[in-house]
Amino acid sequence: MIGYATLGTNDLDRAGGFYDKIAEALGGKRVFKNDRGIGWSVNRGPMLMLMKPFDGHAASVGNGTMIALVADSREKVDAVHKLALELGGKDEGAVGLRGEHFYGGYFRDLDGNKLVVYKMG
């Protein structure tokens, strides 16, 4: 049902480098680029988009907004969360089991957008 989700950035090149590495660790790659945005996908599925705001104002984070990135193993969750922090992201919740089946780790990107990388089961 979801075609893409968009996060705002104030520095497309810097943020693009961050997400290139995150996408690669999850088996994805850049599939879209123009002067305002970049998109990543796994096998041309739904995209994660990063855009400079159309209205020309500064990008800001939404209160309660979060993007979830699916991983195919708990080890990959661990690795991607660690990578995000090494790339300058901020920890928003250590990797671990929440409930019986949700294993995830939360972080904020270089612009302050909140994400979770997770594995169900």
SS3 12: helix
* C-alpha–C-alpha distance, residues 108 and 92, integer Å: 7
For 42-57, what is each residue's pLDDT tens digit? 999 999 999 999 999 9
For 67-78, what is each residue's pLDDT tens digit? 999 999 999 999
Half-sphere exposure of 61 (CA within 13 A, CB side): 13
Q: What share of the chain is helix, strand, coil (3-state, %, to 5)?
A: 20, 40, 40
End-to-end CA gap in the chain:
22
Residue 1 pLDDT > 90, yes or no? no
Q: Where are the domains of the chain?
A: 4-120
Residue 97 pLDDT > 90, yes or no? yes
**115 compared with 2, residue with greater pLDDT:** 115
Residue 63 pLDDT > 90, yes or no? no
Q: What is the pLDDT of residue 57?
A: 96
CATH for the stretch 4-120: 3.10.180.10
Arithmetic mean of pLDDT over the chain: 96
* C-alpha–C-alpha distance, residues 116 and 103, integer Å: 10
Residue 94 pLDDT > 90, yes or no? yes
Decide if 65 contacts 110 (C-beta within 8 A). Answer: no
Average pLDDT over residues 5-33: 97
- Read off the DSSP letter of residue 101: T
Residue 29 pLDDT > 90, yes or no? yes
Task: Return the closest-CA partner of residue 109 out of 38, 11, 15.
Answer: 15
